Homo-oligomer: A and B are copies of this chain.
Amino acid sequence: MYIGIDLGGTNIAIGLVNKEGKIIATGSTPTLAPRDYKEVVADTAKLSNDLIEEKGLTIADIQGVGIGSPGSIDSKKGVVIAAHNLNWYNAPVVDELKKYFNDIPVAIENDANAAAFGEYVTTASDKDSFLAVTLGTGVGGGIVLNKKIYRGINGMGAELGHLVINEDGVQCSCGTNGCWEAYASVTALINQTKAAIAAHPESTMAKDKKVSGRTSFNAAKAGDPVAKQVVDNYIKHIATGIISLINIFAPEVLVIGGGISNEGDYLLDPIKKYVDECGFFKDVEGTEIRIATLKNDAGIVGAAFASKM
């Protein structure tokens, strides 16, 4: 049995995960950021122990503890180098967690990398090259190569949302112009939807009191031509980044997760069509593109399995 910790800016979600990658118990507690990392780790350890007891287990049943944390992470040293939303800098989180879980392997990974790894270990563990893309508030992702999370220098790797798809495009939150995230995130889709409503007040989308990532998709499916255009353009933005990633990595599998991935084949089919049209892989088998399956559990499972990576 493993413990997976998904540390967020608002909540900490913890799961007991069996060796098949199934979550058998979960709990959560507020992060109450910004707080000292030692306080957060203490709460995390307490909640973990509660879960262990709740299932009639003891610490001796736990073979590993993994934590997925926002920010840049030095997984080798077990340190959060910088997590702005937690206000943690050079926080030795693994050493602190070890105080509560002595002799058990404790691992830390970037949260997006942990989520990618969770999807990998449960759905693609026989593959040597795997990419996960998450279309959420931002665009994130993770890279798993040769069964290991790819981290890059100082754990800064796999900022997939910040590949540039329009060099003179709209400014991204990171400061660079034209990042994929500035076009393919849910935040970007909401902005694109609002702009379309302003330009076309006759669109049925104007009736939506609170514009969300679903506004344009729902209206497009109901036949609204303005919404259809918004969705078509948005999907093209997603496909552009995916084409870049496939041309760079030629991964065996690429999964698409995040809230927008709930659109399923309505999203996936046109993306596959764009990729098929893009020229390479005419002579050989290409990348399998699919929708992520684990949803919000991916972070817990991936963190848990990171402790045995």
Interface, chain A (partner B; CB < 8 A): 72, 81-82, 89, 129, 143, 145-146, 150-160, 162-168, 174-176, 178-179, 236-237, 240-241, 243-245, 247-252, 277-281, 283-287
Contacts and interface: CB of A to CB of B under 8 A. Distances in A.
A109 B145 CA distance: 19
A139 B88 CA distance: 40
A151 B250 CA distance: 8
A280 B174 contact: yes
Given A89-B283, A284-B72, A252 B153 contact: yes
Contacts of A72: 283-284
A178 B163 CA distance: 14
A249 B244 CA distance: 13
B250 A156 contact: yes
Task: Indicate how many identical chains form the complex.
Answer: 2
B250 A176 contact: no
Contacts of A240: 164, 167, 178
A250 B157 contact: yes
B250 A152 contact: yes
Contacts of A162: 243-244, 247, 279-280
A129 B145 contact: no
Most B CB contacts (10 A, CB to CB) among A129, A146, A159, A174 go to A159
A165 to B, nearest CB: 5
Given A165-B165, A174-B279, A157 B285 contact: no
A160 B163 CA distance: 12
**Top 6 A-B pairs ranked by shortest CB distance?**
A152-B250, A156-B250, A82-B283, A175-B279, A163-B244, A154-B284
B156 A281 contact: yes
Contacts of A280: 156, 159, 162, 174
B281 A176 contact: no
B279 A249 contact: no
A190 to B, nearest CB: 20
Contacts of A89: 283
A50 B252 CA distance: 42
Contacts of A236: 167
A159 B248 contact: yes
Given A82-B284, A162-B247, A244-B244, 14 more contacts: A81-B284, A89-B283, A150-B249, A152-B251, A153-B250, A153-B285, A156-B250, A157-B249, A158-B248, A163-B244, A163-B247, A164-B165, A174-B278, A178-B240
A237 to B, nearest CB: 7
Contacts of A244: 162-164, 244
B81 A283 contact: yes
A221 to B, nearest CB: 24
Nearest to A281: B156
26 contacts: A81-B283, A82-B283, A82-B284, A89-B283, A143-B248, A146-B146, A152-B249, A153-B251, A153-B285, A153-B287, A156-B280, A156-B281, A158-B248, A160-B248, A162-B247, A163-B244, A163-B247, A163-B248, A166-B167, A167-B240, A174-B278, A175-B277, A175-B279, A176-B279, A179-B247, A244-B244
